[in-house]
Amino acid sequence: MADMDADDFENFEFIDYTTSGPWEKFIIQIESCLKQWGLVHNSYGVFNPKRMPATDENMDLDQELALALHDNDERKANTTTATESADATVAKASPTSNKAGSSRSSGVVDSNASQVPSLSNVYQHDSTVTLDGVPYTLSYRYHPAKARIASGVERIDLDFLPTTLEGFEHHSLHRWTALTHILVLSPAPDSHSPIIDLGLAKLLQSSFAIAFQNTGCNIPVFVPTGQVRNGTYMGLSIQPQLSHARNSDLGLDEMAEDQAIEVRYNTLLVPYPPAQYTDLAGILELFIERMGIDDDYADMDDGDDDTSEGYSQQLKEQIFVSALFSYQLDNWYDEDWRQWADKGDDTVTKSRERLPDLPFGPVQDPLKSIHLVARFASAPSTVYLDSKNLTDMDASQANIWILKAIFKPDDYGLLSGILEDAVSSWNVEVKSLLGASKDQASEKGEGSYTSLLMKGARLIQGTIAMVDASDVENIVDDLCTTPSPSASITPYNDNTNAALQPTQRQRSHSQGTTDRVISAAELGLHFRRATTVPYNSFLWKMLRHLVDVISPNSHISYPTSFMGFTKAVWADLLMQFDVYWERKEMIPLIDIFGEAVDEYASDDDDGSGSLIKATFIDFRFNLMHQKLSMINCCISWELALRQDEQSSSPSPTTSTSSSADSAAEESSPELPKEQPSLKPTSVSGSAEPGDDAPMVATADDTKPSDSINRGSGAEVKHDALAESLGEMDINASATLPKSTTATPPPKDAVETKISHHSEGGLKPFKDLKLLATGAPMMVPKLQDQGYMTEDMIQDQEDLLENLGSSADAAKTRAELQSSQLISGKPPMLYMGAFKAANPGCTIGDFIRWHSPKDWDEKKAQMSARMADSGNFWQELWEKAEALPASKQKPLFDHYYQAEKALSYLKNQTGSQIFIQLLPSICLLAYDTLTSHPVSTVSPQATKALQELAQVLTDFPWDQLSATEKKLDLEPIIAKFKQAEQTVGRVVSLLRKFPEQFSLVERILKDSESVVEDGTERDCVLTVFSAAGFAKTVFPKPTCREFVMETFDPVSSPSSSFIGAPGPTFVTPDDLTGWDARPLQRRMYACFKDSEVRIVDAVAKDGMFM
């Protein structure tokens, strides 16, 4: 009943299938399944490992070996599986054995290599077949071990195939038989008779035997017998007759054997096995018995050994044993599991000492248990001693250790829980505001919260918040007592340190393989524009306190809702802001003195070359922060004004150069008299004229809490401005003399020539003389334009834009911008100041100062566009009234602006505040994670944090609105959860295996890892022995697995643990020329939970059947 060629049909021979019985139909179904999966002619069909991702290119030697191996196996499977399929896994580790293998294998795989490519993530194909009305499920299962080895992915124990690989739970039979490709026939789930009895099983197997003969399928089939839970199977595979095969890879041509080889598999499950079968010695005997091996050597060396056993040493040497002992260590309760024992991390935590720390990670130690697998490499059975009384098979003797960590499936993260809680409290707030508090959506959302802790808080939160006044007070106190305002500079320094720190540390620990985790301070600037607050600024600290309120660690007396508490604290803070403004004290930690602007100032040709520190409102941060900055700017403006008044009264005209260039420590009274009008600037920073400048600037940077600094900073600004006014032509060093000479009011000179004196002039402008009078042209003092927050700029721009694009509108715009109707630098005021400083001047003079390009020196006249009679500039010039800046109406009304900023803050609803602060809350949470030193030592943690950072960066924060119905932060919170769990796991594992960064990393990555010799092994040993109770260092193995194999005639198994570093147990090599096919006998025994499972495979040569 061999090949049914199509040709047969052309012979007009009718074949009647109508009479086929149920059994025949069954066989036909099986055959069609096999064909459908491509399991014909020794092919692996849809699961052809050749189709697996592995490529032949750029393999290293190991891979090549592995692949050769794998090919060999495959081929062997093809040709000899009928008898030898069980040995498919006795993967020969050495090329010699490859040769040996190939000498007897002759299968051709290639013919089918081009079949349906298998999907790498599919491991099983199911199909239903029916016998006599009873449905069965036939499934073709695939274990990717070899393909993975071939592709060099990892090392996999081919004798003990992992049951879980590539995230898929593979059938236990793979492990028991070490077969990567199996067929399993089991009763369909809906079948009435879930149990297959022995007789039926044999019938089913016979069906397969026939089907295999017909199709040339060499995949073993297994049928469960007896109780399903026992997992007992019997199996069969047949290697049908084959024509020719080539072992092309190894260049060996071998003729295939002609006879089929048949392998039968049996499972034996013995609960409470008799004592003699619980050790290696016992089952070895069983093996020899069951396999019917004759002890050829028995007579040869009787006296030698084997006192108790009847088998000779030589025979036992032919039997190769490998073993796998599993140890399990349940994680013990460790309250301090988060404790991070790394030294030198205090430097990182120092900056945050006064702030409450946020918890993160799972509530309890996420580690459930640690598993250690000790692998004893394949060796002649005499190598291992394990009998009733005596055993040397202990983990410490094993060649290879594999460590695996099991984590609890806890999906609750403290930090993400806090975030969730904060958001939900806001959602509740919004809903109650919208009068739709019973929104079904919210109910659904809240269902997902798992923590009872959180629930407690939420119960209270409703619409009324219960808040302990003293809690609020404490927070407000802490925020407001933050010492020197100049401390506001520290955070910037601090966080640069913090940013540096990890990089250094990381370098030492993680071999520089990871990228840096971006610091929170830096990440804040990567968020959507202007959505965060500066690291460690006032609002940042406020948020830390507020978030702490809902943290389980909080010391707050009454748990409450985030929103409720926020509103309470904010209300108090608003009062504090008022007080600050009234007292003209700077709000702490709101930095308006930016980092030194150096890079541009220096290569700018306009740049004075000095470090310039400016007072400014930083648009990189959110509006709330900007408004607070505005208040501080107004305060500093007012302070500057006061200083000027003080200074100008005692020493009106004597404030000369000497005082001006005397160093920064001199206090405000020294300010030159000209300053008053200009003073309000407070804009340009701490640049001192000339040599002093760099010194002062650095002083500001490095000595944050020096109280003098602020005063001097303010003072210094004027000089900087004066300087920049005068430095048109030359660089910094040259300006020093210039400004000094400039400061003495050049009154006399002017007065002699002019009837009315110059007012508000700073210094001569270059060497220019006024056109009409010949007097030196004076640079006028100008008003500073003051400060704007982003919304103000926006308003102004809108105003200009809304005028439209008509000519009239353009004219209006020009007018608006030329007077003080709008913030900026109105030319009319400039003209006025210029006129006041330069009596008798003309517009030509003004142009020469103001827009040199519009002045033609040669012709001594204005450019055409200025000279034009109807010119708007001329019009302005006519109108401009000679007024020194000091007498002009102030451009910047700091009283008004401060009040405006305060009222903005007051008018924010709780909900608006929340939305503005939400990005910073997330940033803060991120900071909590990145601040932990583990973020830098573990690439896994680093990666998780980087992903988190990316999500945070991408989130459209700027599109949040306070009326958001349902804020969807799910993706972010989920990412937080993921990141904190990763970090938590790293922490937990490192706690168990201190300093074993690499080991922990590998375990986290692949869930298990080979323990390397040396410190790693020592460390693991310590952990296990510390928890172990037995006198033998190790606790009792939870599971012992043995594989015994031998060949008939005896051949050469060897360690199939590819790439294993352990000693390879050499095989009798040079088997080329063997004529007889070695038939494999293999037995797998597993002792676990007081039962023993034995799965054996016996190959029989069809030749002799």
Partner 1 sequence: MSDSHSSSETVATLKLLLIGSSGTGKSSLLMRFVDGVFLAPDEISATIGVDFKVKVIDVEGKKYKLTIWDTAGQERFRTLTSSYYRGAQGVILVYDVSNRDSFNDLQTWFNELDTYCSSKEVVRMIVGNKVDKESSREVSKQEGQEFARKLQTLFVECSAKTKLGVQQAFDELVQQIIDTPSLWQKQAPSNVRLQPNTETQEYSGCAC
850 to 889, contacts with partner 1 by CB under 8 A? 850-854, 863-866, 868, 871-873
Least distance in angstroms from the C-beta of 602 to partner 1: 10
Q: Which uninterrupted H or E stretch holds 164? A: strand 164-165
Least distance in angstroms from the C-beta of 633 to partner 1: 11
Least distance in angstroms from the C-beta of 879 to partner 1: 13
What are the structure tokens assigned to 72, written together?
A: 């060999």
Does position 237 interact with partner 1 (CB under 8 A)? The reply is no
Q: Strand 221-224 and strand 124-131: pairing?
A: unpaired
**Binding string, 633-672, against partner 1, x = CB under 8 A?**
----------------------------------------
Looking from the CA of 573 toward its CB, the CA atoms found within 13 Å total 29
Burial of 806 (0-12, 13-18, 19+ CB in 10 A): exposed
Residues 6+ away with beta carbon under 8 Å from 686: 593, 611, 612, 613, 664, 693, 696, 697, 699, 700, 712, 713, 716, 717, 720
Looking at this protein, which amino acid is placed at residue 820?
A: Q
Does position 805 interact with partner 1 (CB under 8 A)? The reply is yes
Q: Which of residues 428-447 bind partner 1 (CB under 8 A)?
A: none
Residue written as tokens 């109108």? 879
Least distance in angstroms from the C-beta of 794 to partner 1: 6
Query: Given the complex with partner 1, which of 355 and 814 has the nearer CB atom?
Result: 814
Least distance in angstroms from the C-beta of 216 to partner 1: 58
Q: Which of residues 966-1005 bind partner 1 (CB under 8 A)?
A: none
Does position 830 interact with partner 1 (CB under 8 A)? The reply is yes
Q: CA 284: distance to chain centroid?
A: 50
Does position 607 interact with partner 1 (CB under 8 A)? The reply is yes
Does position 486 interact with partner 1 (CB under 8 A)? The reply is no
> Buried b / exposed e across 818-832, counting CB within 10 Å, b at 16+?
bbbeebbebbbbbbb
Contact status, residue 999 vs residue 378, Cβ threshold 8 Å = no
**Binding string, 513-552, against partner 1, x = CB under 8 A?**
------------xx-xxx----------------------
Q: Which of residues 308-367 bind partner 1 (CB under 8 A)?
A: none
> Buried b / exposed e across 97-126, counting CB within 10 Å, b at 16+?
bbbbbbbbbbbbbeebeebeebeeeebebe
Using alpha carbons, select from 706, 694, 642 the residue that is nearest to residue 483.
Answer: 706
Question: How many chain residues bind partner 1 (CB under 8 A)?
Answer: 75
Interface with partner 1 (CB under 8 A), residue from 620, 769, 943, 966: 620
What are the structure tokens assigned to 846, written together?
A: 């003004």
Q: Which of residues 1057-1086 bind partner 1 (CB under 8 A)?
A: none
Does position 956 interact with partner 1 (CB under 8 A)? The reply is yes
DSSP string, 901-928: HHHHHHH--HHHHHHHHHHHHHHHHHHH
Does position 194 interact with partner 1 (CB under 8 A)? The reply is no
Query: Given the complex with partner 1, which of 594 and 737 has the nearer CB atom?
Result: 594
Using the contact rule CB under 8 A, the part of the chain among 315-323, 338-346, 821-829, 1038-1046 near partner 1 is 821-829
Does position 376 interact with partner 1 (CB under 8 A)? The reply is no
CA distance 176 to 1043: 9
Least distance in angstroms from the C-beta of 816 to partner 1: 8
Burial of 740 (0-12, 13-18, 19+ CB in 10 A): middle
Interface with partner 1 (CB under 8 A), residue from 290, 352, 813, 900: 813
Classified as helix, coil or strand, 1017 is helix
Does position 296 interact with partner 1 (CB under 8 A)? The reply is no
CA distance 968 to 423: 9
> HEC states along 760-785?
CEEEEEEEEECCCCCCEEEEECCCCC
Query: Given the complex with partner 1, which of 24 and 954 has the nearer CB atom?
Result: 954
Least distance in angstroms from the C-beta of 709 to partner 1: 17
- Backbone φ, ψ for residue 379 (5° rounding): -155, 160
Q: What is the DSSP letter of 277?
A: G
Residues 6+ away with beta carbon under 8 Å from 903: none
Using alpha carbons, select from 887, 879, 857, 684 the residue that is nearest to residue 780.
Answer: 887
Does position 683 interact with partner 1 (CB under 8 A)? The reply is yes
Contact status, residue 4 vs residue 181, Cβ threshold 8 Å = no
Does position 1016 interact with partner 1 (CB under 8 A)? The reply is no
Least distance in angstroms from the C-beta of 852 to partner 1: 7
CA angle (302, 305, 306) in 5-degree steps: 95
Query: Given the complex with partner 1, which of 407 and 957 has the nearer CB atom?
Result: 957
Using the contact rule CB under 8 A, the part of the chain among 424-432, 503-511, 815-823, 1011-1019 near partner 1 is 815-823
Query: Given the complex with partner 1, which of 696 and 1000 has the nearer CB atom?
Result: 696
Does position 959 interact with partner 1 (CB under 8 A)? The reply is yes
Q: Which of residues 774-793 bind partner 1 (CB under 8 A)?
A: 784-785, 787-788, 790, 793
Query: Given the complex with partner 1, which of 383 and 525 has the nearer CB atom?
Result: 525
Does position 496 interact with partner 1 (CB under 8 A)? The reply is no
Does position 825 interact with partner 1 (CB under 8 A)? The reply is yes
Least distance in angstroms from the C-beta of 946 to partner 1: 16
Using the contact rule CB under 8 A, the part of the chain among 178-186, 490-498, 737-745, 847-855 near partner 1 is 847-855
Q: Which of residues 378-417 bind partner 1 (CB under 8 A)?
A: none
Query: Given the complex with partner 1, which of 617 and 671 has the nearer CB atom?
Result: 617
Interface with partner 1 (CB under 8 A), residue from 278, 416, 684, 1080: 684
Interface with partner 1 (CB under 8 A), residue from 138, 173, 614, 696: 614
Using the contact rule CB under 8 A, the part of the chain among 112-120, 387-395, 507-515, 795-803 near partner 1 is 795-803
Residue written as tokens 């030294």? 343
Least distance in angstroms from the C-beta of 613 to partner 1: 9
Q: What is the DSSP letter of 372?
A: E
Interface with partner 1 (CB under 8 A), residue from 191, 953, 1022, 1064: 953
CA distances 211 to 34, 310, 923, 979, Å, are 9, 42, 65, 53
Residues 6+ away with beta carbon under 8 Å from 620: 525, 529, 530
Least distance in angstroms from the C-beta of 600 to partner 1: 5
CA distance 269 to 264: 17
**Binding string, 721-760, against partner 1, x = CB under 8 A?**
x--xx-xxx-------------------------------
Query: Given the complex with partner 1, which of 72 and 684 has the nearer CB atom?
Result: 684
Least distance in angstroms from the C-beta of 535 to partner 1: 15
Does position 801 interact with partner 1 (CB under 8 A)? The reply is yes
Least distance in angstroms from the C-beta of 1017 to partner 1: 47
Does position 619 interact with partner 1 (CB under 8 A)? The reply is yes
CA distance 251 to 99: 10
Rg, C-alpha atoms of the chain: 43
Q: What is the DSSP letter of 358?
A: P
Least distance in angstroms from the C-beta of 820 to partner 1: 12
Least distance in angstroms from the C-beta of 689 to partner 1: 14
CA distance 250 to 644: 95
Q: CA 870: distance to chain centroid?
A: 65
Q: Which of residues 693-722 bind partner 1 (CB under 8 A)?
A: 720-721
Least distance in angstroms from the C-beta of 227 to partner 1: 60
CA distance 1056 to 1041: 16
